[in-house]
Structure 1
Amino acid sequence: MKPQFPGNIPRIKISSEENEVCVDMDNHCFMVTLENYRVTTRQSVWKKLIELADEFKKRNLRYCYFSSTPQGGGGYVAKPMPEVFVITKRKFHNVLQGVAPNTDESRLTDEDKDLWVRWCNDNFDRYWGENTGVVQKADVIIIDDPQLCAIIPSIKRVNPKCRIIYRSHIEIRADLIAQEGSLQKEVWDFLFSFISKADMFISHPISGFIPPYIPLSKVGLMPAATDQLDGLNKFLDEPDVQYYRNVFNRYCEDQCSPQLKPKRSYFIQVSRFDPSKGIPDVLEAYRIFKSKCLEMRVQEINIPQLVICGNGSIDDPDGNVVYDEAVSILCSPGYEIVREDVCLVRVPHCDQVLNSILRGAIVALQLSHREGFEVKVTEALAKQVPVIAYRTGGIPLQLENDISGYLVEPGNVKKVADLLYELFSDVTLHRKIAGKLRGEEQVLRRQEYYTTFQSTNWLYLVNCLAYKGGSVKPEDLPLKAPDEGTYDCNGKIIDWGAKYVKDFWAK
């Protein structure tokens, strides 16, 4: 830890030999204990987790996780290369989500493909390939999203018995992939030449997120999760909240943004500065909201501010572009009335800052136009902060309309503004929703989206797929195929018989 590092938070430690993110700074510090997790987990889930962990240890299994970024990913990570991240973000991620412009600039070229494959192979050969022991010793390897999927054939070559799980975290527009000649089909056809060699495909539980060509016998459903005991979610007492709020205001000052005022409440959207996150909609909804407040003669000091903040990511070149777009919107005609009320900040990777700022909001927004499964919604609800979100992707699985917040059709900023005003002006309504979020039913519902539940899912899969024998076999994971043409990317919950991974162990 160093005083100049934001919030005195330990830096992430990455080994130089294998480019592996070291847990707890390579065991130099310990944030939580096993007992901390036990007392926050449903007894039946904890019992299954320990049972699967004991089997995993008894069989001496090993599984590895490969990702492109140390923050929010972890495991074994690739050495950053900005030219490659332009390809993986704008020509993989944005295209598959359907948010990239339908122009030649979004189309993969042969040079793009060669550069990306070479980068993947160089990382594999240098850190994880033959003679390193990383892949040779693994029974199961998890590949997170498409950035590193080109190493799958190399894994199979070095360790033919190793089982590979491809984890798809993002929204994939399967409806567009199914269209001949689409950008999405071109990208998916290319990526699938690598992903098809994986033994299992894990998807968010939304019908339109599972692309064509994947045998449904290889698909498992698993939502994204957050850790209720990490810096993003753990309880902070009032002095800590105030300390990190002051750190946040220093970020605001450094970036020439208005700061949080001591006596004013605020709304918030925590997200990356990404084209899919609907940040222009957030700004417009707030502008309409404040206009209504002024019409109703609400005093300025009583009108909530707006916070838009989030971390950057080393593999996301869109961050600066979207941030600059938001600044331009605030500088445009018509936004004079909110210009000094909006804290627009790129926050370094200091979890406690986001925790404290989100914890203090009166309403959280998530106006993503495309979304996989947004853990920031889960994190807001866990802090008893009502959420207003667009009805997109996996968000309807997380947020119950009129119970834990409100779901709005994408683009309806007037409705968002009306709901902001309703939750701001009706104290009884706000307390009612916050009270429901503290209730036992909602607390139990969120358990599925926490670390211990997801660890149980992963241990079950690894114990299933590993070759070294065991009580559970891969054929214990059969899944029904959908009817033809059931791709729906507008928030429809999957309903065609495919199963969550949890359905196989939570009996």
Structure 2
Amino acid sequence: MIPRLRNYTDIVGRQAISRIKASSENLVGKHVVHVNATSSGGGVAEILNTLVFLMDDLEIDAGWRVILGSHSFFKVTKGFHNSLQGKPGKLTTNRKSIYLEYCERNAMINHLGKHDIVVIHDPQPLGMINYYSKHGKWLWRCHIDISNPNQQVLDFLVPYIKRYEGVIISSDKFRIKTLDRPQVIIPPSIDPLSVKNKEVGRYAAKKLLAKKGISLDKPIITQISRFDPWKGTLGVLRMYEKIKEKVDCQLVLMGDMAADDPQGPVMYMKISKLAEKMRDIHLITEKNDLLVNALQQESALVFQNSLKEGFALTVSEALWKKTPVLGTNVGGIPLQIINGKNGYIIKDLNDGAEKAIKILEDSALRKELGRNGREHVKNNFLITRHLEDYLNLFNKLYPPSSLK
């Protein structure tokens, strides 16, 4: 189903829909394009898959471009991602050359110079701006945690970042302290009407899980994340070991491997090797939004044990389905988890195991955390709020008086 703004009325109310429509009036006919590195896998693609259509529904001429790149290019940009999140390492001349070559290639075939607003997502297409004589306003949307970056990589990228009108970040913690450009906070969001988030009947969910050998006879603990070193999946396995000693449960680790992430298969092998030594563990690598939905809905609790994180929309996805979440105090996770109210911020693996056991052994607590979680997401992390934030920002770039 193509996303239409009117379809969200029953969820967010008429007043919110009317406010969004009013915010879009001055932007009708404006050419807006979003550019990122992949059409599937990860939260950015999921957001754009709804956000762009909602902008079009408001008569903004919105589009979405996905850049092309070789394996070597995506290996370099994955290195950028890791370095911007604080991983040590040197940026070689060869890596710079590979990066800039593909930025230029993509600039040549995408013709973005005459759009009114260009939103570039994450480091992969960041350097494309270097190959245009700008007509409109360019924004860099950084979805990752850059609070403690590898300075060499940041220094390489800053000259390109400075060509943008501003930077969009997910949290105040992610500000680039040395950057003299406006930095605007727009947290990401989930689409409550997507296949991943709309309500699934219990019978249908049970049937979906049964096909993967997952029964509802034992409580399900889940982590759904890319197979990426930053997601802390090995730590989830260690916590599960401790939980299993107290509660007879099962663990599901589900994650796909995005086209722009060459580290995925390597990390999956490490996880698989450790999981082989344990009982009642299910590893799922397919991309299946309906299965994700069923898992998040039927799980007793969900982990998000990230070591570094941009936002982790899997937290809001689970909370929306009234499932408590235990997560680390990184990135956007503490914006979503209100400690003790809709889940827990865990200090370490022992604390995570203890909190999980507490939830598993107390069904009343589990239900209370779940109810609070859905309400928190409804008020803060739905796509309609996200859309409105973008419209408000675009109106600042093109105030009503400048559009006449």
**Fold match, TM over 0.5?**
yes
**Residue aligning to 2:365:** 429
**Residue aligning to 1:94:** 82
- Match of 1:76, as an amino acid? R
Shift of residue 163, structure 1, vs aligned partner:
0.5
- Match of 2:108, as an amino acid? D
Deviations 1:436-490 (A, max 9, x none): 335xxx25x5333111111111122222213xx62589xxxxxxxxxxxxxxxxx
**Residue aligning to 1:363:** 301
Shift of residue 330, structure 1, vs aligned partner:
2.5
Which residue of the other structure, out of 61, 81, 87, is the alignment partner of 2:70?
A: 81
Which residue of the other structure, out of 168, 184, 191, is the alignment partner of 1:227?
A: 191
CA distance, structure 2, for counterparts of residue 194 and residue 125 of structure 1: 17
1:270 maps onto 2:224 in alignment: yes
The aligned runs of 1:124-273 (5 Å cut-off) are: 124-126=107-109, 128-129=110-111, 134-136=112-114, 138-155=115-132, 157=133, 160-174=134-148, 177=149, 184-207=150-173, 209-215=174-180, 218-247=182-211, 249=212, 259-273=213-227
CA distance, structure 2, for counterparts of residue 141 and residue 471 of structure 1: 21
Shift of residue 285, structure 1, vs aligned partner:
0.4
> Percentage identity across aligned positions?
26
Which sections of structure 2, spanning at least 5 residues, go unmatched? 49-63
**Residue aligning to 1:13:** none
CA distance, structure 1, for counterparts of residue 100 and residue 35 of structure 2: 16
CA distance 1:435–1:201, change in 2 (3 Å): closer
- Match of 1:213, as an amino acid? T
CA contact (8 A) 2:209 2:215 kept: no
**Residue aligning to 1:318:** 263
Deviations 1:2-60 (A, max 9, x none): xxxxxxxxxxxxxxxxxxxxxxxxxxxx3454321122124443222101222211xx2
- Match of 1:380, as an amino acid? A
CA distance, structure 2, for counterparts of residue 211 and residue 67 of structure 1: 21
- Match of 1:342, as an amino acid? I
**Deviation beyond 4 Å, 4+ runs, structure 1:** none
Shift of residue 382, structure 1, vs aligned partner:
0.5
Which residue of the other structure, out of 7, 18, 23, is the alignment partner of 1:47?
A: 18
SS of corresponding position for 1:146: coil
CA contact (8 A) 1:241 1:356 kept: yes
Q: Please, what is the CA RMSD of the aligned residues?
A: 1.9
Shift of residue 377, structure 1, vs aligned partner:
0.6
CA distance, structure 2, for counterparts of residue 317 and residue 200 of structure 1: 30
Between 74-83 and 187-196, report the one with greater CA deviation.
74-83
**Residue aligning to 1:493:** none
State the structure with bigger RCO (CA 8 A, min sep 6), 1 or 2.
1
SS of corresponding position for 2:259: coil
CA distance, structure 1, for counterparts of residue 365 and residue 17 of structure 2: 35
1:284 maps onto 2:238 in alignment: yes
CA contact (8 A) 1:423 1:430 kept: yes
SS of corresponding position for 1:272: coil
Which structure has the greater CA radius of gyration? Answer: 1
CA distance 1:193–1:437, change in 2 (3 Å): closer
CA distance, structure 1, for counterparts of residue 215 and residue 206 of structure 2: 12
SS of corresponding position for 1:120: helix
Which sections of structure 1, spanning at least 5 residues, go unmatched? 1-29, 178-183, 250-258, 294-302, 474-507
CA distance, structure 2, for counterparts of residue 242 and residue 431 of structure 1: 19
**Residue aligning to 1:347:** 286
SS of corresponding position for 2:143: coil
The aligned runs of 1:6-45 (5 Å cut-off) are: 30-45=1-16
SS of corresponding position for 1:40: helix
CA contact (8 A) 1:224 1:374 kept: no
